[in-house]
Structure 1
Amino acid sequence: MDTRRSEQAGGANHVGKAQVGSLAPGRVVGDGRYRLLAQFGVDERGDAHLWRARDGQLKRDVALTLLVGDPADPEAARLARRTLERATHASKFGHGGVARVLDVLALGSGVTSSEGLLGVVVAEWTKGSDLVDLVAQRPVAPAAAARMVQALAEAVEQAHQNGLVLGLDHPQRLRLTPSGALKLAFPGPLPEATLRDDVKALGAVLYLLLTGRWALPGGPPAIPAAPMTPQNRIVPPRQLVPTVPADLSSLAVRTIEDGGNGGIRTSAAILRVLDQVAEEEERTQLIKAVGGDPAEPDGTVWTTKKPVKDVARRRKLALGVTVLVVATVVILAWGGLMLINAFQGDSKVSGPTINVADPPASSQPAGKPPVTSPAPASSQPPAVGAAVPPQSVAVYNPEGKGDNPGRAKYATDGNPDTVWRTEKYRQQLPVVKPGVGLIVVFKDPINLSQVKITGTAGTKVEIRSATAKNPDLADTKVIGNGDLKDGETTIPLAQPTQGEYFIVWITQLGDADGQFMTEIGDLAFLPAG
């Protein structure tokens, strides 16, 4: 075993030190059947030592999860039995993302007390690469990371439908197969592991691939821990690696973190986002194939094989490309006709456009003011006070630094032509994140009555009041809402609200050529008169 592997695998330092020291290459365990070859990690939370071994009877390599502990310790023995029970149940589960459990050995049934072990889980050996080695040099490209986690998420989803916990919340339990898929190579979930732990593990694995850092407790010493914000929240991958797409960055954080708003708690929800990312990548690769450019702009060529997509999805993609081609032909034909008309001219006499609602000035009697029609009765609420400019404006995103914070000032500069915009997302809110918006601060409290917004049509917004500059979303209160139309939209509040801090919170983005984005050109805050 090389020195680096020894450093990665080291770590058990509390229960069973003497037994741990005797676990060395060449030792035989399991009634003399399995000879240890190399250690691949230690999950210290359950004293689970992960080894590659040789099955002396069937002459094949296997993966061993050795549960180390003192057989005289009743609590340790109980926890080991629970892990072995779960591993036995998993032996009936078959999926390409999980190594098949071949045998489960317990005290008195394949394991003796003299071995210093409480049990052994035997699984088929997974060829490929160690996940720690994979991220040791640099993070994985985002599209490749999404494909890797996608295959693992499919295994989790199927296992959870069968009521099984896989226990993949430790990076050294996973391996990357030669086909480029992640696989649970060392089965044996911890005694208290839950379905939620499996889901959080998917987010942590995605975070690890994108950043090279582990975001859950109990990770190996060979992998640095994910950094935390002063509010004790995980720093999003996008802040560490700017090339990470916003949707993948948000997916990782929202899957890992408990509580809050908009958290992702099921593998099915993760798969929906990853499917969208994979479909977008497939479309991009198709365009590149037509253009003859097989590489990314930085020269990287994908070598990871992506999971096979179903026929229905490929049919939809082909239909989409066909529609795009037909639309292009129609637009070109229309342009050609317009060009022909421009050169041929128009045989009809044309004159200036006249607004029949306002008669020309020449039709008015001399010396008399123009005749005007009475204004229709207004259906608007009573007049309110003049707009109050905020003292400051900033992007509000409780999950990170937010979208384009440097442009936030353009939303309140009084010029609709200068805009603040969100990132462009492949998924609509709240799948990507619970929302995004702007928080404004007034020098003195105002009695807000309505908000006028010039922004992207189709956007859904909430007006929220807050009591601090950086509040949690749960601590804010919805006081008005509405859908943005073309031009300026007025959102009246249910009743005037006194305060210094208000949030324009976007819960649905506008359409942006098949993706989702919103621009805010101007905000006006009007107090009650």
Structure 2
Amino acid sequence: MGIRTRGGSLAPGSVVGDGRYRLLAQFGIDERAGAHLWRARDGQLRRDVALTMLVGDPADAEAARLARRTLERAAHAAKFGHPGIARVLDVLSLGSGISSSEGLLGIIVAEWTKGTDLVDLVAERPVEPGAAARMVQALAESVERAHQSGLVLGLDHPQRIRLTPDGRLRLAFPGPLPDATLRDDVKALGAVLYLLLTGRWALPGGPPGIRTAPRSPNGRVLPASSLEPNVPEELSALAVRTVEDGGHGGIRTSAAILKVLEDIAEAAERTQLINPVEPDPDGGVWTTKKPVKDAARRRKLALGVTVLVVAAVGILAWLGMMAISFFQDDPSASGPAVNLADPTPTQQQPPPGQNQDQPRSPAPDPAATGDPVPPAEVTVYNPEGEGDGVANAGRAVDGDPATIWRTDQYRQQFPAFKSGVGLVATFDQPIDLSKVKVTADSPGTTVEIRTADSPDPQLDDTRVVASGTLEDIETELSLQQPASTQYVIVWITQLSSDGDQYVSEFGELQFLPAG
């Protein structure tokens, strides 16, 4: 690959390991450990091998100590066998297969893995999302098996991994860093998935030939779907949640990655098995698929029914007035003349014994809130990425329930791919929030009302002041006591389901202060 080495003796044709291994071609450098990755020829067994050579000064005690730690971990891994990991054949150290004149601190010898370099694989274009998911799923199985045995693999560098001819990712150059952890392996799985989907590496210490993943102003890795629109939201969220340190809803084990990838594969398989609906020979159409919910159509239908009901009530009222007029025109049926200055018949008369001039106490006001306060701004709140329907967030407070803000469609319920998503409303000045009225056609959606001290806080820094599940078109979520706040988050923790799809929407949000 023409990668420059730091050691002048490390060049194609030279020999290392007491003359046993002849170097053929270099496949990368992991600068973090001074590890040079080579394909070589074993002169004794006449086979190609993969060499991870630790370059350094033997007189540097600290460098020698770190190298010994890497060699020890590699030797321990030699007892482990799995198709996704190149088998370690030998481990050479200073005085045991390596002379101090070679400028090496150690060599890890592994079986050679035929196939394609990962950097070359994404050089022209990213990998199709379905294929990328299958590749990482196979690699995750290897990591899970190794972790169950207490082994750290050290695959957090793209040039250590190769794609085999049968389409599986394989750790081709074993040799974990001295301080590598199980968590580093898990983050590497997310970084590999991100690389396949976008052609960019999302962890520090990547090779110069690969672009680094872009980050938002707050330092988070941008979602893969924002770089490649054809990437499903599930895969995009999986990659970012695996790579990121800490945060709410992060993925920290290879078993969790495997579960998500298996669910994605199962959903994709179900989608492929659904046959297109064929027209009936008699002109009818049949289907076993559940009808897709159309919120706009349901709103129009509800409006039409409402208009019909109002018209029917009006007609009945008119007929009643005509009947009354008919009987009042009959002198035999008429009662005493009605004085328009008298109190109306519907006016409540005082009970016997009460002075008619005595003022009565006003009836209590059932509404404990004032008029809705419109926010100055509404934006999508998603601490784990870019968010859903960013361009349409303002529709939730435009005064028209027919215009909606909608989440992305998911194949799995929260929190499989993210912990939630929502909207944050910012007010010009703090309000004494008493309740939030939600107009939405998303039954089963679970909502939390949260308050915050800034418009873009971490979820753990917000406070839950009310919660509930949307069942009707209009739902009021009341606070136990008013909360003074300038930032209100309407946070969806469970989406409305429609068959194997999950999506929620808001037609209108109203923020009511204490009256």
Q: What TM bracket, shorter-length normalisation?
A: 0.7 to 0.9
- Equivalence for 1:149: 136
Higher share of residues assigned helix: 1
Q: Provide the C-alpha distance between the structure 2 equivalents of 1:399 and 1:437, rounded to a whole number of angstroms.
A: 12
Please name the residue that 1:305 is paired with: none
Aligned length: 455
How far off is 1:513 after superposition? 2.6
Asked if structure 2 preserves the Cα contact closer than 8 Å seen for 1:151 and 1:181, the reply is yes
> Post-superposition shift, 1:287?
4.4
Give the alignment partner of residue 403 of structure 1, picking from 384, 388, 401: 388
TM-score (norm 1): 0.80
1:502 pairs with one of 478, 481, 488: 488
Does the Cα contact within 8 Å between 2:380 and 2:422 map onto a contact in 1? yes
1:42 alignment partner in structure 2: 29
What is the CA-CA distance between 1:363 and the residue it aligns to? 12
Distance 2:382 2:263 in 1: 23
Mapped contact 1:361–1:370 kept (Cα < 8 A): no
Closer/same/farther in 2, CA of residues 425 and 65 from structure 1, 3 Å limit: same
2:426 to 441, 456, 479: 441
1:242 and 1:418 mapped to 2: Cα distance? 24
Structure 1: 5+ residue runs without aligned partners?
A: 292-326, 333-352, 372-379
Q: Which moved more, 1:425-434 or 1:63-72?
A: 425-434
Question: How far apart in 2 are the matches of 1:198 and 1:443?
Answer: 46
SS in 1 for 2:200: coil
What CA distance in whole angstroms lies between the structure 2 residues aligned with 1:386 and 1:364?
Answer: 41
Q: CA deviation at 1:417?
A: 2.2
Contact in 2 for aligned 1:440/1:502 (Cα 8 Å):
yes
| Aligned position for 1:163 | 150
SS in 2 for 1:46: coil
Residue 82 of structure 2 is aligned to residue 95 of structure 1:
yes
State how far apart, in whole Å, the 2-side matches of 1:412 and 1:498 are. 20
Match of 2:413 among 422, 428, 433: 428
What residue number does 1:214 align with?
201
* Structure 1 residue ranges (4+ consecutive) displaced by more than 4 angstroms after TM superposition: 329-332, 360-371
Q: Which amino acid aligns with 2:10?
A: L
Which residue among 265, 270, 273 is the counterpart of 1:283? Answer: 270
Q: Verify the 8 A CA contact 1:450 1:492 in the aligned structure 2.
A: yes
Partner residue in 2 for 1:27:
14
* Number of the residue aligned with 2:454: 468
CA distance in 2, matches of 1:381, 1:423: 38
Residue number in structure 2 paired with 1:415: 400
Distance 2:261 2:15 in 1: 43
TM-superposed CA distance for 1:280, in Å, is 2.6
Match of 2:257 in 1: 270
User: Which amino acid in structure 2 is aligned with residue 417 of structure 1?
Assistant: A
- Is the Cα contact below 8 Å between 1:153 and 1:202 reproduced in 2? yes
- The aligned counterpart of 2:360 is none
2 CA distance for matches of 1:119 and 1:225?
Answer: 30
In the TM superposition, residue 188 of structure 1 has moved relative to its aligned partner by 0.6
Structure 2: state its 5+ residue gaps: 278-285, 292-311, 329-337, 339-343, 347-364
Report the equivalent of 1:133: 120
Q: Based on CA coordinates, which of the two structures has the bigger radius of gyration?
A: 2
Write the mapping of 1:314-353 to structure 2, written as runs, cut at 5 A.
328=287
Counterpart secondary structure, 1:427: coil
Deviates more, 1:122-131 or 1:394-403: 394-403
Q: Are 1:523 and 2:488 counterparts?
A: no
The alignment's C-alpha RMSD in Å is: 2.9
Structure 1 pair 370/454, CA: closer, same or farther in 2 (3 Å)? farther
Write the deviation string for residues 118-177 of structure 1: whole angstroms up to 9, x where unpaired.
111111111100000000001111111111111111111111111110100000000000
Structure 1 residue aligned with 2:230, among 240, 243, 248? 243
2:512 partner amino acid: L
> Tell me, what secondary structure is at the counterpart of 1:147?
helix
Give % identity. 66
The TM-score normalised by the length of structure 2 is 0.82
Query: Which amino acid counterpart does residue 239 of structure 2 have in structure 1?
Result: A
- The aligned counterpart of 1:308 is none
**Paired residues of 1:273 and 1:427 also in contact (CA < 8 A):** no
Deviation, 1:361, is: 4.2
